[in-house]
Amino acid sequence: MVMMIFAVNSVTFASGAFRMGDQGAEVAEIQGYLIRLGYDVMADGDFGPSTVDAVKDFQKSQGLKENGMVDENTYRVLVGREMPEVSRGTSSMARRLISIAMQYMGTPYVFGGNSLYYGIDCSAYTQQIYAQIGINLPRTADYQYEVGTPISRNELLPGDEVFFTTYTYGASHCGIYLGDGNFIHASSSRGVTISSLHESYYNARYIGARRMF
């Protein structure tokens, strides 16, 4: 048996928003402004579900797009100045997501299956893995492809969801990006396994990716 180990490398990039999974002093400052307005969050520097909910409530109160992310418009209205450039490494949430995903390596593939132990299909696998970090996704790959933030292939980061067109038109297969061109997914031929985006089969069928946090 060959053990495969994939490192989740830290990547820094410019982004247009603070979002779930981000951490640091800038997040704590945002939380501080929310607290001053009466929202029930802690200024702990961890952009978790409670902060997402508070941001959505604030956005609704201001007539802003309710996406739970502190983008330029939300930051300007909340903090009262232009938003600084956001840089981040691989978030703790992405590391946790991948750690959970790897626990189910070898689970058999079953079309329509929902069990992480006895048999599961690709979209049920991603749905259940993301659910374990508090992100609720639709059941099927085509509907999962309609949520989250669309990103280009060269923007992929660990924790993003990748999509392929396989047995039918549109998004019909999906997995979780690990970094270094690799992704984990419930393969119809191998069960939960790790594959490369550069493999000819997946490279030819890749249609896009979504950032879910």
Type of residue numbered 204: A
198 as an active site residue: the answer is no
Question: Alpha-carbon distance 78 to 55, whole Å?
Answer: 9
| Active-site residue, from 122, 171, 194, 209 | 122
122 as an active site residue: the answer is yes
| Active-site residue, from 88, 185, 210, 211 | 185
Question: Alpha-carbon distance 193 to 56, whole Å?
Answer: 36
| Active-site residue, from 19, 173, 210, 211 | 173
Judge whether 177 and 95 are in contact, CB under 8 Å.
no
DSSP classification of residue 4? -
Judge whether 32 and 41 are in contact, CB under 8 Å.
no
> Under 8 Å CB-to-CB from 141, ≥6 apart: which residues?
122, 123, 126, 163, 171, 172, 173, 174
For residue 17, the Cα-to-chain-centroid distance in whole angstroms is 14
CA 161 vs CA 49, 64, 101, 174: distances in Å: 19, 26, 12, 7
Question: Alpha-carbon distance 160 to 178, whole Å?
Answer: 8
Question: Alpha-carbon distance 46 to 4, whole Å?
Answer: 31
Question: Alpha-carbon distance 188 to 79, whole Å?
Answer: 49
What residues are annotated to the active site? Answer: 122, 173, 185
